[in-house]
Structures are given as C-alpha cells and as structure tokens.
C-alpha cells in the first residue's frame, strides 16, 4: 500500500532584501493511513514551514522544491479549485493560536457548518444538527446554544476544541496539528490531546503533530522526526528515539529538559549557543558549533541522513552508539 | 531577616459597570508566604489562578486591596512617590516575553542604561557598568549596540535579566521567564538564574505553570488556584507527597519524554 502522504526532498526558500534563506533543506518523510507522526524542532527548525508547504499555505514569494504527494497525487500541482476541494475534506489543519485561526466576527456555528455544507453537501438544517453533534463530541455542553456564540465567549481550551471539531468535521484522512497545545494550560493540554486521541482513533485519521515539546510528541506519536536548521536530523519510532537517541542534538535536547522524577542536578546540561537563524551554510553540519562530539570533518562536510548502529537514520558523522541512555 | 514577607494579601479588580451594577472580582484572596535571601519560592497554577496578580501586587504595579507586604523588612503597600521609586530598586521583574518588555527603539545597552539612570548611576559610569552586566549574563560587550530585533530570544531574555540586575535588587520576580524560550536555550537561562542567585543571594519568586521547571528551580512551592494557595511546602515534599488533588493533577498533566504513550481511553470510557 502506498503512503497517504509522501514528502520527497522538500525545499523551501524565502528571499528577503535580496538575500535568500533556506527554511527547509531537503526534507523527506511518509505518513501511512492512520499513523501518528511527530515533528519536533525548535524555532527556526523549519517544522512549521514544512507543514505549511504540505498544506500549500505558503506565500507566493516562497520557492518550493521537491515533491508532495497525497494519496499518490501531486499536491504542488493542484490548481486553486482542486486545493479548495482538498483542504477541509481530505486534509485539515489545527493551528497554535485558536483565537487567530477562528474568525472573530462569525458565530461558531457558521464556521463549523461552512465545511460541512461545502464538502459534504449537507442542507442548512442538517449541517446545523451535525455541527451540534460535533461540538458535543469535543466535550462542549449545551451545544445548540453555543453554536450561536462568538469565539470570544469561549476560553482558550474551548476554542482549540472548536478548531479540532472544525478540522474533524469532514473526517479527513490526515490532520496536521501545529503546536495545538502550546498556548494552553497543562491540564487543558492533556484534555486536548485526549480529544485528538479519541477522534483520530475513532476514524483512523492519520495525524502529523508538530511541537517543540518532546514530551507531548512522544506521548502521542508512533514515529518522530527531529528537525534542526531545516533538515531532519533523526527519525524513528518514538520510544526508541527517547530511549537511545542517535543524534547528539536529540540527546542534548532530552538532557536539557528538567525532570519530574529522579535525582535533581544542580545545573541542567544545557546546549551552548542558540539555534541558527536565517542563512545556514550548506557545506557543514549545522549543529557543529553546539555539538559536544564535533570533529574537523563536521565543519567541512554536511552529514546526510543515513542509518546508524541504532538501526535508525541520523544525520551525523559521529552518532551515539546503541548503548541505552540511563533512565533518569 | 526575610527578603519577602507577605501576609493576607488580597487583590481585587473592578468589573466594568457603574453604581449599583459595579461588581468586583477577587483575583488574590488571603495569600501569605515568606522568601528568605538566596531562596526560591515557586508559584504554580493555571491562567487565571492569580499568580501574576500576586507578582504585580508585590511590585506595586497593581494596588493590593488588603494585607501587608514587607520587602527587606519595609512595609511597601503604603509607599508613594519618591519612596516607591526607591523601593523598586530592591525588587525587579523578568517577564515572559523579552520582546515585549524591552524597548524596541533602544539598543540593548540603552535598555540597560535606562535602569542604571533609575538606580542613580552617573552617566560616565554607564558604559563600564553595562559591559559588566552583559558579562554577568554571558553576553559579549558588543551586544550593547544591537537592537532587540537583532538578537535571538534567549539573548533578549539575558538582556532583560541584565536590566533587572542593573539596580542591584534583593528580590527578583520571574513571571514565566523561560516559558517562551526554546528548549535548548531554556536550560541555559535556568542555569544562569541559579548562578546569579548563588553569587548575590537574590531571593526569587519564580512563577511558572510547568511543574518540572519548578522542581528544578524552587526550594519551596506554593500552588495557587482561584486566588488562593491550596498547597504550600518544601519542594521535595510537594513533589514526593502532593496533598491537594489539584497539585496531583498539575503534576500528572506533564507529559515526560520516556513516560511512554498516553493511556488511550477505551471506547466505553469515551461514551
């Protein structure tokens, strides 16, 4: 069976004030039907740009290269009409800030029924009934009445539930969620993740979850891609990556998170420096300046994503071996 | 002497409306705690729990409606004018988003120099003091000439810490100071705050919704909900034996890497 989503050597460049910067530099991955894939990265790693390129949401000024195929079709070749039919029915997106992704001037009901009428061809009353049912599935009580409310009368967590209800309305085959819980309180975050679990389980929806939080991603996803400076630097099953990371960056990320259990270090093992921003030199490893395992070759050559001793691919000349990380 | 002693603090906000329709909202209700020099009190809770209002009342950004606040033994709730300005030298705040809290039209150096002026440092000494402060927060002196938009988020937060230190405070209030930072940078800033505390004996009120960060930073923990402290004790005890159900809920809500897949609810539970 072919993958639902295939991203092949995707590149995205932006030109600003005459200088070109590469936001995504050759990203490839696949998502199978019903699979949950996590993309982890810090700001500037290209994770959100990758998602926007897949959804075709980038501005015209962006130069997009490579291929994106959805169920075998070339997404980058879709015309406007095809795009409008595809988004919402086959693929949907949930954004970080539910306030700015909902239209503040329209009632929730209008925003929920829009997709239902357009993609599922429901009549007005039928769409309204379905919208109320959707609101109830995402745990909003008194749904019929709440359909008449505007976004501002919902709390942040409620708004994100509404966004998820809109995304799930036409039971798409793939939902891309870009930092869906980052703006929410931790207990609300747990509820929203529960909800996404439920909905995707019930309909076998594939999910791409994008986050900077390894904890959130590893608790939800089957497979994880770690991105750094526009590239995938490590990929594999979630549990394996956490238990024995191959790339020094992944390891350093895991180490720098304060833990709830175990001995308390006096200082956290921090990664020196900050993630690169803007132009990244192409002929060297982008993590070299922050890497504890750096050698001369890292500054003159750019490592490719290749299989390592851990059995998973990592873009590193000196990957960590397969000795499991001690559990802290 | 304790750096901070708060007793029965209350903060009340007025809701819009006039006359008889005027309603008030109690954001902070009977909150008491002390912080010793060189120690950190971690204040946890969700948005709306009143934790930022506590910080704002301490700083006298909002007027407390009741209770007393002693900073270094001095009652500060009644201070006005010049005395209030003098008091603010003892107490500084680091905010969540350094992009909003630094003046975008001033260079990093000038942002810090403003605080030096407030502290009464004479102009000729500004350059050398700014260099010293940048050095303390781990930034090269050349950063003094850069504008906030020219430096990264972690570096901006270092500049706002330098600015807070400029007046030589005894108490530093960090309101979600690392929440907006990248994971790899967050650890650096937490380490920096610990080092500064060790060197100067600063007292920290460290506000965060992230229990794992608080476990690392705080000596004592207070959990706020609905304007009140529902649990308060030494950090080790609160994490080992959380007593209030809300504390347990907050700790349980943190997904830790390596803790495995979340328990997916079965179809029966969903219905």
Are the Cβ atoms of A275 and B184 closer than 8 angstroms?
yes
Same domain, A205 and A134: no
Mean pLDDT lowest among A164-173, A183-192, A227-236, B129-138: A183-192
> Band of the pLDDT at A48, cuts 50, 70, 90?
very high
Same domain, A260 and A203: yes
Structure tokens at B100: 């909003």
The pLDDT of B54-65, averaged and rounded, is 91
Long-range contacts of A105-112 (CB under 8 A, 24+ apart): A105/A150, A106/A150, A107/A147, A107/A148, A107/A149, A107/A150, A108/A135, A108/A146, A108/A147, A108/A148, A108/A149, A108/A150, A108/A151, A108/A154, A108/A162, A109/A147, A109/A148, A111/A162, A111/A166, A112/A147, A112/A162, A112/A165, A112/A166, A112/A169
The pLDDT of A273-300, averaged and rounded, is 88
Complex confidence, ipTM: 0.83
Q: Residue A101 pLDDT more than 60? A: yes
Same domain, A207 and A258: yes
Higher pLDDT, A246 or B120: A246
Mean pLDDT lowest among A300-309, B29-38, B81-90: B81-90
Compute the 3-state secondary structure of chain B and give helix, strand, coil in percent, each to the nearest 5: 40, 25, 35
Interface of A with B in 130-159 (CB under 8 A): 156
A207 within domain boundaries: yes
B264 within domain boundaries: no
A148 within domain boundaries: yes
A281 within domain boundaries: yes
Interface of B with A in 218-257 (CB under 8 A): 239, 249-257
Same domain, A113 and A63: no
A13 within domain boundaries: yes
Three-class DSSP category at B35 = strand
pTM for this one?
A: 0.87
- CATH for A73: 3.40.50.300
pLDDT attached to residue A19? 80
pLDDT attached to residue A15? 85
> Band of the pLDDT at A1, cuts 50, 70, 90?
low
| Residue among A241, A187, A196 nearest B251 (CA) | A187
Are the Cβ atoms of A270 and B216 closer than 8 angstroms?
no
Are the Cβ atoms of A254 and B257 closer than 8 angstroms?
yes
Same domain, A242 and A317: yes
**Whole domain around residue A106: which residue ranges?**
100-171
Are the Cβ atoms of B262 and A257 closer than 8 angstroms?
no
Residues in chain A within 8 Å Cβ distance of B253: 186-187, 189-190
**Whole domain around residue B220: which residue ranges?**
4-15+24-252
Spell out the residues 6+ positions from residue A161 whose beta carbon is closer than 8 angstroms to its own: A138, A139, A140, A192, A195
Per-residue pLDDT reduced to its tens digit, A248-263: 999 999 999 998 888 8
A-B contacts (CB, under 8 Å): 130
Spatial distance between the Cα atoms of A197 and A204, rounded to a whole number of angstroms: 10
Higher pLDDT, B138 or A97: B138
Spatial distance between the Cα atoms of B95 and B156, rounded to a whole number of angstroms: 11
User: B233: distance to nearest CA of chain A, Å?
Assistant: 17
B262 within domain boundaries: no
pLDDT attached to residue B16? 72
> Band of the pLDDT at B263, cuts 50, 70, 90?
low
Contact B50, B75 (CB under 8 A): no
> Band of the pLDDT at B267, cuts 50, 70, 90?
very low
A128 within domain boundaries: yes
Are the Cβ atoms of B191 and A220 closer than 8 angstroms?
no
Q: Residue B22 pLDDT more than 80? A: no
Per-residue pLDDT reduced to its tens digit, B172-231: 999 999 988 888 888 999 999 999 999 999 999 999 988 999 999 999 999 999 999 999
pLDDT attached to residue B156? 92
The pLDDT of B237-252, averaged and rounded, is 93
A95 within domain boundaries: no
Phi–psi pair at A206, nearest 5 degrees: -80, 150
Same domain, A69 and A151: no
- CATH for B89: 3.40.50.300
Interface of A with B in 188-217 (CB under 8 A): 188-190, 193-194, 197-198, 201-202, 212-216
User: B138: distance to nearest CA of chain A, Å?
Assistant: 11
Same domain, A151 and A177: no
3-class DSSP string for chain A? CCCCEEEEEEEEEEEECCEEEEEEEEEEEEECCCCEEEEECCCCCCHHHHHHHHCCCCCCCCEEEEEEEECCEEHHHCCHHHHHHHECCCEEEECCCHHHHCCCCCCHHHHHHHHHHHHHCCCHHHHHHHHHHHHHHCCCCCHHHHCCCCHHHCCHHHHHHHHHHHHHCCCCCEEEEECCCCCCCHHHHHHHHHHHHHHHHHHCCEEEEEECCHHHHHHHCCEEEEEECCEEEEEEEHHHHHHCCCCHHHHHHHHCCCCCCCCCCCCCCCCCCCCCCCCCCCCCCCCHHHCCCCCHHHHCCCCCCEECCCCCEECCCCCCCCCCCCCC
The pLDDT of A265-291, averaged and rounded, is 86
> Band of the pLDDT at B93, cuts 50, 70, 90?
very high
* Partner-chain residue, chosen from B190, B253, B258, that has the shortest CB–CB distance to A242: B258
> Band of the pLDDT at B264, cuts 50, 70, 90?
very low
> Band of the pLDDT at B262, cuts 50, 70, 90?
low
Structure tokens at A234: 């490590």
Q: Residue A308 pLDDT more than 70? A: yes
User: A78: distance to nearest CA of chain B, Å?
Assistant: 35
Considering its fold, how many domains does chain B have in total?
1
B116 within domain boundaries: yes
DSSP element (H, E) containing B14: strand B4-14
Considering its fold, how many domains does chain A have in total?
2
Nearest CA in chain B to A256: B187
A51 within domain boundaries: yes
Same domain, A70 and A209: yes
DSSP element (H, E) containing B162: helix B153-165
Nearest CA in chain A to B187: A270
Same domain, A315 and A205: yes
What is the pLDDT of chain B when averaged over all its residues?
A: 89
**Distance of alpha carbon A101 from the chain centroid:** 16
B128 within domain boundaries: yes
B150 within domain boundaries: yes
Spatial distance between the Cα atoms of B142 and A323, rounded to a whole number of angstroms: 43
Q: Residue B98 pLDDT more than 90? A: no
B258 within domain boundaries: no
Same domain, A179 and A50: yes
pLDDT attached to residue A113? 95
Are the Cβ atoms of B191 and A274 closer than 8 angstroms?
no
Same domain, A133 and A20: no
pLDDT attached to residue B127? 93
> Band of the pLDDT at B268, cuts 50, 70, 90?
very low
Q: Percentage of chain A with pLDDT > 70?
A: 97
Nearest CA in chain A to B246: A187
The pLDDT of A212-226, averaged and rounded, is 93
Orientation angle between helical segments A108-120 and A156-168, nearest 10 degrees: 10
Per-residue pLDDT reduced to its tens digit, A170-196: 999 999 999 998 888 888 888 889 888
Same domain, A162 and A300: no
pLDDT attached to residue B36? 96
B267 within domain boundaries: no
Structure tokens at B238: 């609160």
* Partner-chain residue, chosen from B183, B215, B255, that has the shortest CB–CB distance to A256: B183
B194 within domain boundaries: yes
> Band of the pLDDT at A122, cuts 50, 70, 90?
very high
pLDDT attached to residue A322? 52
pLDDT attached to residue B203? 96
Residues in chain A within 8 Å Cβ distance of B46: 185-188
């Amino acid at each position: 069976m072919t993958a639902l989503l295939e991203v092949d050597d995707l590149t995205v460049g932006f030109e600003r004030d005459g200088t070109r910067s590469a936001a995504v530099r050759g990203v490839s991955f696949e998502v199978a039907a019903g699979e949950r894939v996590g993309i982890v990265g810090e700001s500037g790693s290209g994770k959100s740009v990758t998602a926007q390129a897949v959804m075709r949401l980038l501005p015209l000024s962006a130069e997009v290269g490579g291929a994106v195929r959805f169920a075998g079709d070339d997404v980058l070749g879709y015309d406007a009409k095809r795009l409008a039919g595809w988004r919402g029915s086959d693929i949907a997106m949930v954004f970080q800030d539910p306030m700015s992704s909902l239209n503040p001037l329209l009632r929730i009901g209008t925003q929920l029924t829009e997709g239902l009428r357009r993609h599922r061809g429901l009549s007005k009353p039928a769409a309204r009934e379905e919208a109320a049912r959707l609101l109830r599935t995402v745990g909003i009580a008194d749904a019929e009445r709440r359909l008449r409310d505007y976004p501002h009368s919902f709390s942040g967590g409620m708004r994100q539930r509404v966004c998820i209800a809109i995304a799930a309305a036409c039971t798409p085959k793939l939902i891309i969620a870009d930092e869906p819980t980052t703006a929410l309180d931790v207990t609300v975050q747990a509820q929203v993740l529960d909800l996404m679990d439920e909905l995707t389980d019930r309909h076998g929806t594939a999910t791409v979850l994008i986050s900077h939080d390894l904890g959130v991603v590893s608790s939800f996803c089957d497979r994880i891609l770690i991105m750094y400076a526009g590239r995938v630097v490590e990929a594999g099953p979630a549990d394996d990556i956490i238990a024995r990371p191959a790339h020094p960056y992944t390891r350093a990320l895991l180490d720098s998170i304060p833990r709830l259990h175990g001995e308390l270090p006096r200082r956290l093992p921090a990664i020196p420096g900050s993630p690169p921003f803007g132009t990244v030199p192409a002929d060297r490893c982008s993590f070299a300046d922050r890497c504890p395992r750096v050698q001369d070759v890292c500054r003159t050559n750019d490592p490719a994503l290749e299989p390592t001793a851990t059995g998973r691919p990592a873009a590193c000349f000196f990957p960590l071996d397969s000795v499991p990380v001690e559990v802290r | 002497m304790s750096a901070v002693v708060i007793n029965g603090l209350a903060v009340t906000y007025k809701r819009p409306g006039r006359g008889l329709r005027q309603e008030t909202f109690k954001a902070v209700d009977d909150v008491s705690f002390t912080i010793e020099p060189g120690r950190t009190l971690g204040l946890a809770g969700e948005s709306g729990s009143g934790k930022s209002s506590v910080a704002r009342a301490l700083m006298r950004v909002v007027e407390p409606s009741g209770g007393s606040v002693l900073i270094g033994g001095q009652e500060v709730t009644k201070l006005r004018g010049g005395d209030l300005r003098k008091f603010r030298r003892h107490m500084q705040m680091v905010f969540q988003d350094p992009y909003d809290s630094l003046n975008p039209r001033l260079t990093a150096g000038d942002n810090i120099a403003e605080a030096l002026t407030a502290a009464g440092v004479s102009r000729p000494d500004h350059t050398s003091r700014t260099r010293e402060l940048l050095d303390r927060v781990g930034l090269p002196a050349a950063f003094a000439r850069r504008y906030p938009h020219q430096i990264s988020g972690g570096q901006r937060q270092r500049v706002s810490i330098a600015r807070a230190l400029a007046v030589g405070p005894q108490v530093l209030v960090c309101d979600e100071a690392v929440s907006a930072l990248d994971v790899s940078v967050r650890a650096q800033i937490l380490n920096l705050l610990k080092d500064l505390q060790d060197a100067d004996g600063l007292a920290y009120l460290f506000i965060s919704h992230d229990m794992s960060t608080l476990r690392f930073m705080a000596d004592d923990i207070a959990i706020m909900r609905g304007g009140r402290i529902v649990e308060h004790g030494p950090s080790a005890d609160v994490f080992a034996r959380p007593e209030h159900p809300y504390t347990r809920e907050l700790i349980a809500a943190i997904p830790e890497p390596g803790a495995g897949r979340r328990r997916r609810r079965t179809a029966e539970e969903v219905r």
